[in-house]
A and B are shown apart, each in its own frame.
Chain A
Amino acid sequence: MTERYSRQVLFPPIGQNGQEVLRDKHVLIIGAGALGAANAEMIVRAGVGHVTIVDRDYVDFSNLQRQNLYTEQDAIDRLPKAEAAQKRLAALNSDVVIDAVTADADPEFFKNILSGSAVDLIIDGTDNFDIRFVINDAAQKYAIPWVYGACVASGGLSLFIIPGKTPCLHCLMDTIPQAGATCDTAGIISPAVQMTASAQTAEALKWLTGNIDSLRGTIFSFDLWTNHFSSVDAAKLKKPDCPSCGANPVYPFLSYELSTKFAVLCGRDTVQIRPSSIKKRDLQLLSESVENSADITHKNAFLISFKKDTYTITAFQDGRVFIHGTSSIDESKKVYYQYFQ
């Protein structure tokens, strides 16, 4: 086992000491898509002792071009990403305790995990601004640093956010942006993912091993196609009255009314529905109730997919439902309420 980390230990800023420190750390990775998977692989191989990875989605063939933890078989089996990631990560490094959570990382999730256990760092492996603003508020409320990372097309950017010290995401953006390019509209190449994740994991390793002075402290951004790299110091943009990190924080993105949430999954032609009271869904019962009226296409321990007319409906064990084949909330509601109350 000492052999395993020998090259990392030879790197003086980490050394034997840093390696031992890493074993006692707990990193929470939100999202197991492209960035989440790339970060997770590096963090687990580096020997961080405890990794929790959470994701709401399952593996799809369109993921395989860039999401490094997954195989064709995972896509055929429609395994939830968190489960598929755990399987692969455990095979890479059995030293590491890996927890997989298939759920939406909503305010309730953050409250449960961050108030209940010692998380040293949150890594952003998500693909939308909504969830990043929730991460940002949760990180501030529970005083845990997080490392933003995002990418699209051939570029990406990253920023390390330390509560009480650096500007937070909300200081830099007044509201959740409603527009902007996504991987589903502008595409993405795998090197942009790996580069962004490398920038994130490097900062993570610095923080976890106590190399605080080596943290970049700037917004790092790049485009691998136009060959432009930049490092912008945003420290002056920290707002004293920021609702998320200012003098009187209210963490606006942690408060949300309890109601069934319908959300269009950008570019996927899919609507996600999250019931108000999240309870474990009895998949066996559901399968029996729909098998006469619909065509069940996938069934595993975590989800059931079935076809109805032009829609494919996927019901997760944690209560969520995806309606594929529409980007209309109204249309998805009609389909949803045919099968779920």
Chain B
Amino acid sequence: MNMTVNGRDVELPDHVTTVRDLLDHFKLNKELAIVELNQSILDKSIRDDAALSDGDRIEIVQFVGGG
């Protein structure tokens, strides 16, 4: 599947079909992530199971603790 993640065009392996898979693929901490799918923010309760499609535009914001 081809998608745009944080402004970059990426090709993802076939097993990446949900937001959960995507976060795992990039080894991102789910507690810290806010995900926007095609410019619509995903509520945490449905986020991880949200299905991905070819051509999706995804924005992942990672909260960080540093400063």
Question: Is A80 on the interface with B (CB-CB < 8 A)?
Answer: no
| CB < 8 Å neighbour of A177 from B41, B43, B59, B63 | B63
B15 within 8 Å of A (CB atoms): no
Tell me which residues across on chain B come within 8 A of A226, comparing CB atoms.
6, 8
**Count, A-B residue pairs, CB within 8 A:** 95
Report B35-64 residues with CB < 8 Å from chain A CB.
36, 41, 43-44, 59, 61-64
Mark A residues whose CB is within 8 Å of B: 31, 33-36, 124-129, 132, 149-152, 155-157, 172-175, 177, 179-183, 186, 188, 193, 196, 219, 221, 226, 228, 230, 232-234, 236-237, 266
Minimum C-beta distance from A261 to chain B (A): 18
The answer to whether A182 and B32 touch across the interface, beta carbons within 8 angstroms, is no
Most chain A C-beta atoms within 10 Å of own C-beta, residue among B44, B61, B65, B67: B67
The answer to whether B64 touches A157 (Cβ under 8 A) is yes
- List the interface of chain B (C-beta within 8 A of A): 6-8, 29, 31-32, 34, 36, 41, 43-44, 59, 61-67
Asked if A181 and B34 sit within 8 Å, CB to CB, the answer is no
11 new A-B contacts at CB < 8 Å, known A179-B31, A232-B59: A34-B67, A35-B67, A152-B65, A157-B62, A173-B32, A175-B31, A177-B31, A230-B7, A232-B61, A233-B36, A266-B65
Check A129/B65 contact, CB under 8 A, given A174-B31, A179-B29, A232-B36.
yes
Chain B residues with Cβ below 8 Å from A36 are 67
- State in angstroms the CA–CA spacing of A99 and B43 once bound together: 41
Query: A193 to B67, alpha carbons, bound, how many Å?
Result: 7
Tell which of B32, B34, B43 touches A219, judged by Cβ atoms closer than 8 Å: B34
Contact present for B66 and A183 (CB under 8 Å): yes
Which residue of the partner chain B has the closest CB to A220?
B61
Q: Say whether B41 contacts A233, CB under 8 Å.
A: yes
Do residues A181 and B43 form an inter-chain contact, with CB atoms below 8 A? no
Please measure, in the bound complex, the distance between the C-alpha atom of A233 and the C-alpha atom of B66, giving whole angstroms: 22
- Decide if B67 touches A173 in the complex (CB within 8 Å): no
Q: How far is the CA of A183 from the CA of B31 in the complex (A)?
A: 19
Instruction: Assess the A228–B7 pair: CB atoms within 8 A.
Output: yes
User: What B residues does A175 contact at CB under 8 A?
Assistant: 31
CB distance from A132 to the nearest CB of B (A): 7
Known: A174-B44, A180-B32, A234-B41. A228 touches B64 (CB 8 A): no
* Known contacts A174-B44, A233-B41, A150 near B63 by CB under 8 Å: yes
Q: Is the CB of A232 within 8 A of B34?
A: yes
Residues of chain A within 8 A (CB-CB) of B29 are 177, 179-180
Known: A232-B34, A232-B41. Is A172-B66 also a contact (CB below 8 A)? no
Minimum CB–CB distance for A148 against chain B, Å: 9
Cβ contact within 8 Å between A151 and B64: yes
Task: Name the 8 nearest CB pairs between A and B, nearest first.
Answer: A152-B66, A35-B67, A183-B66, A127-B67, A129-B65, A152-B64, A177-B31, A150-B64
Known: A228-B7, A230-B61, A233-B41. A149 touches B67 (CB 8 A): yes
Which residues on the A side are within 8 Å of B6 (C-beta)? 226, 228, 230
Residue from the list A127, A177, A236 in contact with B66, Cβ < 8 A: A127
In contact, B65 and A182 (Cβ under 8 angstroms): yes
Residue of B nearest to A169 (CB): B63
